[in-house]
Structure 1
Amino acid sequence: MLKSFEQHIKIATDNQLAIECLASHTELSKQKLKEAMNKGCVWLTAGKKTQRIRRAKKTLKCGQTLHIYYDEKVLSAEPSVPELIADESDYSVWNKPSGLLSQGSKWGDHCTITRWAEQHLTPQRNSFVVHRLDRAASGIILVAHSKTAAAKLSHLFATRAISKTYHAMVEGVWPFEASQTINQPIDGKPSVSHVIPLTIDKVNETSLLEVSIETGRKHQIRRHLAESGFPIVGDRLYDSTILDDDLMLMAVKLAFVCPLSHSEKLYQLTTNF
């Protein structure tokens, strides 16, 4: 059986090393603990602040609390490999594959686009979440490399000052030729998606759609299309009957005025389905 546990260790004396403290309070070897720390499942609370720590030789102080959230299933996962589209210094643009996470959890972050960016960009930089793509979705995602960049880029998404375009392969023959707007609320909040058909396959009864969104509700495109009777191919959560493929939803275009350089930016991908 795969091991899973969490432990919270109150530090009683100064100058303990994180690795020594963890080793004395768990049954894990120091090597496994170092690997776990590197994958992001160890946290330290100092006062009102709790942060992820990775350094095995981090010196602890009396009154702090060390946390470990250990799950062998999570830690044994291998990250899917993203493609770097552009390194803009203050932020980077990636083609996220299906399966890679936008952000981590208390149980780890090694399978996230932000951690991948931290480990593979040259020069190395910290990474911050700007926006999210569903784990099962693929396509363009931004990663910020400073708190200032993260705040300014996140503001673009919050104020809808960024154009986001997706392609989705859905089950069924889309019946409309012109653009259609779906404005069905999601979880009681206004939600607007605009849909344009690109290609229709009447033999296989599937349709490739272009979707642009004004709002960014959780699973918005997936829910809007499924509730319209056209679930996305491979969508196990929202009633797809074709489950041989990954979720066929891809972020193919982002366009905005960069809040740092004030220049117009356009990033595009070709749909791979």
Structure 2
Amino acid sequence: MKFQRKGPWLETIVSQEWNGLTIDQILRDVWNGPKKQIHQLRMEKGILINGDHAIWSKPLCLGDIIQIKFFSDEEFGVIPSYIDIDILFEDDHLLVVNKPSGLDTHPNEPGQSNTLANAVAFYLQSKGEFRKVIHIHRLDKDTTGAVLFAKHGFVGSILDRMLEERKIQRTYLALVSGLIKKKRGTINEPIGRDRHHPTKRRVSPTGQKAVTHYQVLKIFPKTNCSLIQCSLETGRTHQIRVHLSSIGFPLIGDHLYGEKTTLTRQALHAAKLAFVHPFTAEKVECHAPFLDNPAIFPPDSFQLMK
């Protein structure tokens, strides 16, 4: 299906793919949409068929024009603040941003304005798009790389579910202290809070389930470190950092978890984000270039990824 935005409306023309389906079936079964927003669209008469209010139980016909009110102006939810950001992908529904080091993903206290979410709000405001800023996942303050944002609540709820169902693949590059001899492995250890430190996490039998897969891409005997690729089945706070430290290979620069070099941040980068677009069904694959100056990672890191 092909879509285009017309003011507050998302418009499409019914093709063979949707011929005979009802609006209710499309929202619930095809898009697996959120019940709350589907109910809201029905109550607010937010769907038109050929310019008239939709009859939700009536089968659609080839050539019918569907309009769905997805793009109403909203408060950003954060203070728009100019910070230069690198947009990796954007359409009417979502955007992927390459987060630099030193930025929180979103405000952690009222009035905070120096986060990636504030920068996204400013960017959208500059384009005349007044949307609530919705982050689908987050990165630690000093972790860099791809972060996914939704531009409206309907797609935000769909993306949240996709993340839970592991339909959004996040691939990380990490430099760890030590030479990992095992070429690949899985760390399946629950993670909980550290009672002795306000922000630290630890492997704990009473923690939440956490699974990290890793693969060694290259070892550097002279500097006693390894370049690895990681993927997550779960998204716990500090997951990669905690898991790698727990097996004796903390991230280079990760002072919180026991690594002692003078690097100013942990060497962790969200290098790739891949998913199927919930509306267009197209494969979206974003590669986030390194932003560090001077460089932290080897220049051939992306070429070594599996």
Q: Same fold (TM over 0.5)?
A: yes
Q: Which moved more, 1:101-110 or 1:162-171?
A: 101-110
Q: Quickly say closer, same or farther: Cα 1:260–1:96, change in 2 above 3 A.
A: same
Equivalent position SS for 2:121? helix
The amino acid across from 2:247 in the alignment is S
Q: Which moved more, 1:151-160 or 1:200-209?
A: 151-160
Q: Quickly say closer, same or farther: Cα 1:261–1:197, change in 2 above 3 A.
A: same
The aligned counterpart of 1:247 is 266
The aligned counterpart of 1:163 is 169
Are 1:182 and 2:201 an aligned pair? Answer: no
The amino acid across from 2:92 in the alignment is S
Structure 1 residue 270 displacement after superposition: 4.2
Structure 1 residue 106 displacement after superposition: 2.9
The aligned counterpart of 1:37 is none
Alignment of 1:162-241 (within 5 A): 162-177=168-183, 179-187=184-192, 188-241=207-260
Structure 1 residue 237 displacement after superposition: 1.3
Structure 1 residue 109 displacement after superposition: 3.4
The aligned counterpart of 1:111 is 114
Asked if structure 1 preserves the Cα contact closer than 8 Å seen for 2:136 and 2:160, the reply is yes
Deviations 1:136-156 (A, max 9, x none): 100000111111121111111
Equivalent position SS for 1:226? helix
Structure 1 residue 228 displacement after superposition: 0.8
The aligned counterpart of 2:25 is none
Asked if structure 2 preserves the Cα contact closer than 8 Å seen for 1:165 and 1:212, the reply is yes
Structure-2 separation of matches of 1:79 and 1:172: 40
Asked if structure 2 preserves the Cα contact closer than 8 Å seen for 1:102 and 1:134, the reply is yes
Q: Quickly say closer, same or farther: Cα 1:226–1:118, change in 2 above 3 A.
A: same
Are 1:82 and 2:101 an aligned pair? Answer: no
Deviations 1:37-76 (A, max 9, x none): xxxxxxxxxxxxxx9687xxxxxxxxxxxxxxxxxxxxxx
Asked if structure 2 preserves the Cα contact closer than 8 Å seen for 1:80 and 1:99, the reply is no
Equivalent position SS for 2:286? strand
The aligned counterpart of 1:15 is none
Structure-1 separation of matches of 2:135 and 2:245: 28
Structure 1 residue 80 displacement after superposition: 6.0
Q: Quickly say closer, same or farther: Cα 1:270–1:199, change in 2 above 3 A.
A: farther
Asked if structure 2 preserves the Cα contact closer than 8 Å seen for 1:233 and 1:245, the reply is no
The amino acid across from 1:167 in the alignment is L
Are 1:144 and 2:150 an aligned pair? Answer: yes
- TM score, norm. by length of structure 2: 0.61
Gaps of 5+ in 2: 1-75, 193-206, 298-306
Identical counterparts, % of pairs: 32
Alignment of 1:250-265 (within 5 A): 250-265=269-284
Structure-2 separation of matches of 1:53 and 1:167: 30
- TM score, norm. by length of structure 1: 0.68
Q: CA RMSD in A?
A: 2.2
